[in-house]
Structure 1
Amino acid sequence: MDTSLLIIMLSSSVLISYGFDLVSSRTKLPSVVLLLATGVAIRQVTDYFGVAIPYVNVILPTLGTLGLILIVLEGGLDLELSGGKHKFILRTLAAALLGILLCMFVIAGIFYILLGENFYNAMVTATPFAVISSAVAIPSVRGLDAMRREFVVYESSLSDILGLMLFNILVIPAGSGWETAVQFFKSTILVVIISVICCFVLLYLISRITHHVKYLPIISSLFIVYAVGKMYHLSSLLAILVFGLFINNTELFVRGKLKDYFKNDLFEHELQQFKNLTAESAFIIRTFFFLIFGYSTNISELADIDAWIVSILLLLAIVGTRYLSLKATLKGDLKPILYVAPRGLVTVLLFLSIPPQYLVVGFRDGILMLTVILTSLVMMVAVVSYRHDQNEESENIP
């Protein structure tokens, strides 16, 4: 392919995604749906002209992993632990954990009944569908009130982390359940220790490096930490979250004389630049991930009646279990948070990471994309309806 044409295609993809974000902010139609539709359309065009994008099966999980790291880092950089938020954080943590467990067991039950698979394999396959996508949820609630918006930010970010940790527990190679639990506990302690060391080292670099290029090397170092951790079956994504939380809440960890070594007068400005770079990098990776995921989907899979039936059952399970988890942890009106449970990049990436021996037999390929689309559309309708009702109420107030 001509180099100039390739540059035009890649640059156009970024501009189209940016346009989708602008459209999404006005119409509340999730940009992920538009990107998936564009990817499917590109597949039809390339098939017509007999052209194929090479190495899709390698590019897709690689982009997904990089995007996941950046999304978790972005989420950690958005979370503030100060200001008396401890009870609020614990409540969102409880909601995220309870929601994942309930959803996982109900969906596993659906797979077990419909496909006749053993229940453990059904649980492993169900885990990706139990995780809320912060990459889709957070941008979709920008127009809500501060309390609901903050809850979604915390809950979806924690759902990503907890879902990944739970998935690693289920597929980690070990003998008995107790051996798996002990191994996971040891690895978590090790990751936390490594994370704290990395946090101070990277914080020192942020505050001391005077070279005009400083943030990409730091992000690259985080990629290496994640990859090395994965090679040794560690919960390395936890290290990314810890770093994000640490950098955004340094006033809790860096006090007294430590400030002289790890912070400077320009730190707040440096932190904001780091956040901007992380957000824009995540945006680019997310753009190409969903475009390629849409491209990799055969349109005939989306017309499969069985896939639609299972996807609708999964949607009902997601909303039903979410109602139970929110009712147990929150007070007051649950709208529209009840329906803000989109599946996205984390779901796709975890599903692609399921070892062959754990994937349920007979799983329809179209279920994954249909579930992503349906949960996003339900969220869109709920958010738009809620804002419309709120506007009407404010207009009717004398």
Structure 2
Amino acid sequence: MELFSSYNLIIEGALVLILSFWFNGLSKKTNIPSVLMLIVLGVVLQYVAKAFVPALPDFFPILEILGIVGLIMIVLEAALELELRRDKFWPIVKSLTIAIGGLMASTWVAALILENLIPGMSTASAWLYATPLSILSSAIIIPSVGGLSEAKKEFHVYESTFSDIAGIILFYFLAGQLNPAEAVGPAGFAGTLALTLVIALVASYVLILIFQSIKTQAKQFLLIAVLLLLYALGKKLHLSSLIIILVFGLVIANMKLFFAGPLRKYLKEDRAKQIYHELHIITLESAFVVRTFFFVVFGLTIVLSSLLSVKVLLISVLILASIYLIRFIFLRVFFGSDIRPQLFIAPRGLITVLLFYGIPMEARVEAFEPGILLFIIIGTSLIMTWAMIRDKQKMVTALDEIEEEYDKLDEAYDAEQELELSQKPTPETGLTPPVEPDNLQEEE
């Protein structure tokens, strides 16, 4: 049976998308991340495929392309939802501080664990392996926190987005240090970052001014194609390309802020808003499709036997413990005691896989077990699932208690109304209830 013929691939792809849509609905009811269901689906499909074909093809090239496009779509989707207002300043600062502080601390501790427990692991290699394990997955977090309060949901969107960008910048900075000819110091790195921001701002203004003047209907995928081109060219020039995507999303989502003063006359607000709304919808749909196939293909590549190693278990548990301990400290400092379920919402996912496969050959260590990566992705997702389900149960309990109190107040009000009615004259008797004067003894 030819599993990978043209029509079979169309059928398989269509069924995967239908199942993914169903997983999203199931996720909202159960709080189990749909991404986890997609990975399990991929693992199941792997064993089904092995029953019909002797060997599976190499999925890595597909996985890499899906990961890059998915990363761009997810960051753009998040940026389009971020509002830059004065009242958002402190939430953004808190989220940025927790994201970067947690990333650096988690990477440092994970690098120490890997360096000491894996033979042949140098400090430079340990940091490169530890960085992907320390990045939050906005691909998992953003679709999963819709049921939380607005403030907590906003925090997770900001934090996961900042963690993605900061983690990617850190990874490629560390990878660049492996080659002395291309290595840059902190000053050079800061200069590159500043140059990327300038290019991102200029490109964002130019794109909005050009596309608001295009009158044809099919221009949204043209805009996405231009963004993909800018991202790829930026990577070729060793720029932090993801910042270009983030800045463009922020500019078009907050166009009144960026086109203030003299620039306002250049903005065709109605057309720019139309571009924003259409781009938001297409980005959302595209991110859904890319995310679906990425995690299913990732499931197809998973080797479950790698989870059976005692060493993998030990290293993974130590890294997981460090992740939540560091997260507890940061959240406690910035948010006090109200840190649930935020403490446990720290999944690893798309970027972790993408960067892991992007580790340069000169930094690779044969003794590193891929099962560590898999264990941490599954472990953080399961912990998040448990926390979200528990939080939902607490909310249901709290709502039941509120409803019970409301019912008691309603019953008390009804009883009071009945008492007042019983004391009024009725047409049948014409009698009024006796009145007992307060000063009866004084009258006597």
If the TM-score is normalised by the length of the shorter chain, which range does it land in?
A: over 0.9
Give me the whole-angstrom Cα distance separating, in 2, the residues matched to 1:134 and 1:352: 19
Could you say which residue in structure 2 is the equivalent of 1:150?
A: 154
Give me the whole-angstrom Cα distance separating, in 2, the residues matched to 1:328 and 1:186: 32
Could you say which residue in structure 1 is the equivalent of 2:239?
A: 234
- Number of residue-to-residue matches in the alignment: 398
- Bigger drift between 314-323 and 123-132 goes to 314-323
> 5+ unaligned residues in a row in structure 2: which ranges?
406-444
Give me the whole-angstrom Cα distance separating, in 1, the residues matched to 2:171 and 2:319: 18
1:241-263 Cα shifts (integer Å, max 9, x gaps):
11111111111110245333232
DSSP 3-state at the match of 1:222: helix
Residue 210 (str. 1) matches residue 215 (str. 2): yes
Which amino acid is 1:303 matched to? L
Give me the whole-angstrom Cα distance separating, in 2, the residues matched to 1:326 and 1:206: 42
Give me the whole-angstrom Cα distance separating, in 1, the residues matched to 2:250 and 2:186: 26
* 2:370 maps to which of 362, 365, 370: 365
Residue 316 (str. 1) matches residue 321 (str. 2): yes
Q: Percent identity?
A: 37
- Bigger drift between 257-266 and 352-361 goes to 257-266
1:120-156 Cα shifts (integer Å, max 9, x gaps):
2111110001110011011211111111111111111
Could you say which residue in structure 1 is the equivalent of 2:106?
A: 103
8 Å Cα contact 2:138-2:161 kept in structure 1? yes
Could you say which residue in structure 2 is the equivalent of 1:245?
A: 250
Residues 85-234 of structure 1 mapped to structure 2, 5 A cutoff: 85-116=88-119, 117-173=121-177, 175=180, 179-234=184-239
Give me the whole-angstrom Cα distance separating, in 2, the residues matched to 1:119 and 1:210: 55
Could you say which residue in structure 1 is the equivalent of 2:339?
A: 334
Normalised to the residue count of structure 1, the TM-score between the two structures is 0.95
8 Å Cα contact 1:135-1:345 kept in structure 2? yes
Which amino acid is 1:146 matched to? E
Task: With a CA cutoff of 8 Å and minimum separation of 6, indicate the structure with the bigger relative contact order.
Answer: 1
8 Å Cα contact 2:176-2:183 kept in structure 1? no
> 5+ unaligned residues in a row in structure 1: which ranges?
none
1:37-76 Cα shifts (integer Å, max 9, x gaps):
1111111111111155534121111110111111111111
Could you say which residue in structure 2 is the equivalent of 1:386?
A: 391
Normalised to the residue count of structure 2, the TM-score between the two structures is 0.86
Which amino acid is 2:114 matched to? F
Greater C-alpha radius of gyration: 2
Could you say which residue in structure 2 is the equivalent of 1:346?
A: 351
What's the offset of the Cα at 1:361?
Answer: 4.0
Could you say which residue in structure 2 is the equivalent of 1:56?
A: 59
Which amino acid is 1:124 matched to? L
Could you say which residue in structure 2 is the equivalent of 1:267?
A: 272
What's the offset of the Cα at 1:267?
Answer: 3.0
Give me the whole-angstrom Cα distance separating, in 2, the residues matched to 1:52 and 1:361: 23
Kindly report the root-mean-square deviation, in angstroms, between the aligned alpha carbons of the 2 structures. Answer: 1.8
Could you say which residue in structure 1 is the equivalent of 2:410?
A: none
Give me the whole-angstrom Cα distance separating, in 2, the residues matched to 1:245 and 1:332: 32
8 Å Cα contact 1:169-1:181 kept in structure 2? no
8 Å Cα contact 2:137-2:160 kept in structure 1? yes
DSSP 3-state at the match of 2:269: coil
Given the superposition, is the C-alpha separation of residues 218 and 177 from structure 1 closer, same or farther in structure 2, using an over 3 Å criterion?
closer
Given the superposition, is the C-alpha separation of residues 119 and 50 from structure 1 closer, same or farther in structure 2, using an over 3 Å criterion?
same
Given the superposition, is the C-alpha separation of residues 309 and 219 from structure 1 closer, same or farther in structure 2, using an over 3 Å criterion?
same
DSSP 3-state at the match of 2:359: coil
DSSP 3-state at the match of 2:77: helix
Which amino acid is 2:168 matched to? L
* 1:277 maps to which of 278, 282, 285: 282
What's the offset of the Cα at 1:188?
Answer: 1.0
What's the offset of the Cα at 1:310?
Answer: 2.2
DSSP 3-state at the match of 2:94: helix
8 Å Cα contact 2:98-2:330 kept in structure 1? yes
What's the offset of the Cα at 1:177?
Answer: 11
Give me the whole-angstrom Cα distance separating, in 2, the residues matched to 1:363 and 1:175: 25
Give me the whole-angstrom Cα distance separating, in 1, the residues matched to 2:222 and 2:395: 45
Which amino acid is 2:51 matched to? Y
8 Å Cα contact 1:326-1:338 kept in structure 2? yes
8 Å Cα contact 1:100-1:131 kept in structure 2? yes
Give me the whole-angstrom Cα distance separating, in 2, the residues matched to 1:146 and 1:332: 18
* 2:85 maps to which of 78, 82, 86: 82
Give me the whole-angstrom Cα distance separating, in 1, the residues matched to 2:333 and 2:360: 34
